[in-house]
Structure 1
């Protein structure tokens, strides 16, 4: 698939595949909540006639390729590789989508403990060990007749956030997730750590293995208000939000409602999020290990030469 072919696919289908549905629409246009950030009023406009998008809150826009580049923070080549695997040709025509919204074009076929080696490898690539396995599932599902599988992270409404090397989306009802860590007495925790996405929450689990408290994952910063409502249950709130414009807005909104909340984003700055920071730490450790191995090898060579 090339850019021309991908850009000819209806962006409405691409957005639906990624779990984004319009808040309002007509024959010519559709409006969405910002897929890249948080807002309470839709500012993302899809022109159905031109198949182009424009985000009024940031003053940017473009075609399908431009959207996925920003959405997945990736290159054109990786966008086309991703698009090639989505099988968009099996989707319903655009004028049928709004007629069939009550009948989802997806189905969850199996939920089980993590077994798939491709998914385990994906987790390793994101810096995770087996320590995160208890918090995720392996979810098999179909979209538009295509069989897929992904890492699944469940929310409070039984919906799923899904990730693999080529797919980022959600199924069933969107909601926040709350994880209780190491509370053997099952007492209500007073402290909570807040994240935008579950990969950052898993990164925290990986780095803070003895933490006792709750993890709250918004899963979408469009759920900020619901997250704030849940945060009323805690006396200690710690924020690990993204170092970008959307994360800044989200942080400021929480701090307005909870002035005693603590912002920890400077710990992993200039990295965008906690997972990027985890990966950088692993890379530095590997480089240091390789450097020590080279130095030891040089020392051994020098010792061998002196003995000769």
Structure 2
């Protein structure tokens, strides 16, 4: 397949995601990413999902899917075409429908202390009931129906929602940073907030800042923050995503301790904690 057909039929979001690149800001049809060729604090790469192109406001350079691969992999056009050949070639308008992701309409009615018996029971099944003060009970409407769940707030004011039946995010996806004592020089990293609550059960007096990714795709938001600490403790899941995330952090920093051996025969810290014999 020639260059022009590939430019038309391979979605730019899919290509960026293949390199673990995700939007920092997004409105559905367009988004801002961090630059492909440098580190920066403010994202300068504007991506148009409809036009299937990107523009770097820092350098004035335009990108299509082929030149993105060339930039990231430092390769020739023919090598970029070979890389793109692994993607399914879908008709462009079908791809656009998949790529224009909008936030489902929702409305939060009430945020309060955990009181509902079903939520208390859920926390008990995960053996983190004594940490209920660290989460909230949310009542909300989503797509015209009313729900309730355990809410854990992120740095952008969004909420990770959990109950026995659902695992969603209301609002903008982001990490959650919880500060301990002033000028703390160590940070403990978790993939999800249930593992954070579990850790608080185990280590009640530990002095640390805490970073909950709320999803491994949010790692890009965490990497620069981790620069500020002399010691990084990782409590990530024992699955492919957790291992990839762990390896990226270990490759970038020297002061990292992987704590997953503590629960090496379990999926994550909470599963290990629930299954252990007291």
- How many Å separate the matches in 1 of 2:9 and 2:138? 35
1:39 aligns with 2:20: yes
Gap change, CA 1:30 and 1:148, over 3 Å in 2:
farther
- The aligned counterpart of 1:271 is 266
Q: How many residues align?
A: 201
- The aligned counterpart of 2:122 is 122
Runs of 4+ in 1 over 3 A off after TM superposition: 26-35, 95-101
Alignment of 1:14-29 (within 5 A): none
Normalization by structure 2: what TM-score? 0.65
Query: Which residues of structure 2 form unaligned runs of 5+?
Result: 1-7, 24-85, 87-95
Normalization by structure 1: what TM-score? 0.59
Gap change, CA 1:192 and 1:120, over 3 Å in 2:
same
Query: Any conservation in 2 of the 1:159–1:175 contact (CA below 8 Å)?
Result: yes
Gap change, CA 1:165 and 1:256, over 3 Å in 2:
same
Gap change, CA 1:139 and 1:33, over 3 Å in 2:
farther
Q: CA deviation at 1:118?
A: 0.7
- How many Å separate the matches in 2 of 1:197 and 1:229? 19
Query: Any conservation in 1 of the 2:194–2:270 contact (CA below 8 Å)?
Result: yes
- The aligned counterpart of 2:50 is none
Q: CA deviation at 1:104?
A: 4.0
Q: CA deviation at 1:268?
A: 0.6
- The aligned counterpart of 1:288 is none
Structure that is richer in helix per residue: 1
- The aligned counterpart of 1:238 is 233
Gap change, CA 1:191 and 1:116, over 3 Å in 2:
same
- The aligned counterpart of 2:255 is 260
SS at match of 2:179: strand
Find the structure with the greater CA-based Rg.
1
Q: CA deviation at 1:156?
A: 0.8
CA-based RMSD of the aligned residues comes to: 3.3
Gap change, CA 1:27 and 1:165, over 3 Å in 2:
farther
Q: CA deviation at 1:31?
A: 6.2
Q: CA deviation at 1:266?
A: 0.7
Query: Which residues of structure 1 form unaligned runs of 5+?
Result: 1-25, 43-58, 60-94, 286-308
Query: Any conservation in 2 of the 1:114–1:137 contact (CA below 8 Å)?
Result: yes
